[in-house]
Amino acid sequence: MTVENWLKVLSDNGYRLTDSRRAVVEIVNDSSRAMTPLEVFDSARSSHPELGLVTVYRTLEKLEELHLIQRVHQPAGCQAFISARQGHQHMLLCQRCGQVTYFEGDDLDNLITNIADKTGYSIKEHWLQLFGLCAKCHSSNPNQVPGLFHS
Amino acid sequence: MTVENWLKVLSDNGYRLTDSRRAVVEIVNDSSRAMTPLEVFDSARSSHPELGLVTVYRTLEKLEELHLIQRVHQPAGCQAFISARQGHQHMLLCQRCGQVTYFEGDDLDNLITNIADKTGYSIKEHWLQLFGLCAKCHSSNPNQVPGLFHS
DNA sequence: TCTCTATTGAAAATCATTTTCAATTATAGA
DNA sequence: TCTATAATTGAAAATGATTTTCAATAGAGA
Ligand SMILES: [Mn+2]
Ligand SMILES: [Mn+2]
Ligand SMILES: [Zn+2]
Ligand SMILES: [Zn+2]
């Protein structure tokens, strides 16, 4: 989804298009890493110095509500957001550079049926996330201890 | 693991056994739901009224460090802790009552190999969590909208 | 252009968590 | 058992993140 798509969704849902929102949308839409509100703020201020952190929070809230972005849970914290994909998707996160790569084609049906049988639960949803090193980070220094995450 | 086991681990690691710690350990060890520091505090105070919330935070911190408990990530928040299992385990959470059930025997090797090939990532870890209704909650009212979680 | 109301950023408020600190207490050793 | 000592405690203060308040501003439809 492009910046223009996001702006159209905001507009179609009755939200006004302002410079502040455009600045936030441009940064978040473009990022392949999950960003915290403060990171978005710092980055967006280079093109829009009068932007307030409060507006970043408010814009991220709306983008999340419209399913344009989603919160990313990581060992080091769960405040960061990344551009969302449509439908059921999972992500793969680089423990060194933070790069997020979506993948599909997970086949958990057997696993889920088994667990449902064993436990008696009726299973409605699942979360699957993979962590590792992206090709670039892996080749640059495969043994370095990751710095982005604890534990 | 019993309360006594946990206390022994604390003691073996040079931590003193105090009434405050015992109160926290008893509550958390016994719970089959993930509990926030405030929930632990409220619950532990019935048997130990002079307990401070700070001590709950400090005790949970030590229990986590010793791998006796682990943080649980949920759509509604990521501040709750539950008794941990040894080794690689995953959990299944009831969206109505919060009950946590561990399961093993996930077979993600094929999936992970596929994704590694497709993406070029070197995959080190994974998170898998299932959400649904436990047998009890499902039979009592299978269609009710879950109240514990948002989104 | 004009009007109306959503949106803005600053400041204040709130909420969760951490730090500080002086008093207390668990525990190792005498 | 008694003592010395350092770990631990809870209250209060500090911090940090997020939310609310509010008066000024500015999109967007008429
Ligand atoms: Mn899936
Ligand atoms: Mn697994
Ligand atoms: Zn990387
Ligand atoms: Zn249940």
pLDDT in tens, B55-101: 999 999 999 999 999 999 999 899 999 999 998 899 999 999 999 99
Q: Which of B95, B122, B150 best probes binding to A when mutated, by most A CB atoms within 10 angstroms?
A: B122
Residue B145 lies in a domain: no
Contact residues for A124 (Cβ-Cβ < 8 A; gap 6+): B95, B131, B132, B133
Residue B151 lies in a domain: no
Q: Which nucleotide is nearest to B38 (CA to C1')?
A: C16
Q: Which ligand is nearest to the CA of A32?
A: 3
Whether pLDDT at A147 is above 80: no
**How many A/B residue pairs have CB atoms within 8 Å?**
108
- The CATH number of residue A41's host domain is 1.10.10.10
Global pTM? 0.90
Q: Nearest to residue B10, comparing CAs of B83, B66, B87?
A: B66
Whether pLDDT at A143 is above 70: no
* Averaged pLDDT for residues A43-55: 96
Interatomic CA distance for residues A38 and A54, integer angstroms: 10
The answer to whether B47 touches B19, Cβ cutoff 8 Å, is no
Residue B147 lies in a domain: no
Min mean pLDDT across A31-45, A83-97, B29-43, B128-142 is at: B128-142
Q: Nearest to residue B133, comparing CAs of B77, B94, B76?
A: B94
The answer to whether B97 touches B133, Cβ cutoff 8 Å, is no
B49 touches A at CB < 8 Å: no
* Averaged pLDDT for residues A88-104: 94
Q: Do the Cβ atoms of B131 and A126 come within 8 Å?
A: yes
Residue B146 lies in a domain: no
- Give the pLDDT of residue B38: 97
A21, HSE (Cβ side, Cα atoms, 13 Å): 17
Residue A150 lies in a domain: no
Query: Which chain A residues contact residue B138 at CB under 8 A?
Result: 120-122
Whether pLDDT at B6 is above 70: yes
Residue B43 lies in a domain: yes
Residue B135 lies in a domain: yes
What's CA A11's distance to the chain center, in Å?
A: 22
Whether pLDDT at A146 is above 90: no
Q: Do the Cβ atoms of B130 and A120 come within 8 Å?
A: no
Return the higher-pLDDT residue of B108 and A149: B108
Q: Report the 3 state secondary structure along B66-123.
A: CCCEEEEEECCEEEEEEECCCCCCEEEEECCCCEEEEECCCCCHHHHHHHHHHHCCEE
Footprint of strand C on the protein (CB under 7 A): A 14-16, 18, 20-21, 48, 50-52, 54-55, 58-59; B 11, 16-19, 36-38, 53-54, 57-58, 61, 79
* Averaged pLDDT for residues B123-145: 86
Whether pLDDT at B111 is above 70: yes
Count of domains for chain A: 1
Can you give the residue range of the structural domain that contains B7? 3-140
- Give the pLDDT of residue A16: 98
Whether pLDDT at A149 is above 60: no
- Give the pLDDT of residue B144: 57
Q: Do the Cβ atoms of B123 and A132 come within 8 Å?
A: yes
Residue A151 lies in a domain: no
- Give the pLDDT of residue A92: 97
Q: Nearest to residue A25, comparing CAs of A67, A83, A80?
A: A83
B106 touches A at CB < 8 Å: yes
Whether pLDDT at A37 is above 80: yes
- Give the pLDDT of residue A142: 53
- Give the pLDDT of residue A107: 80
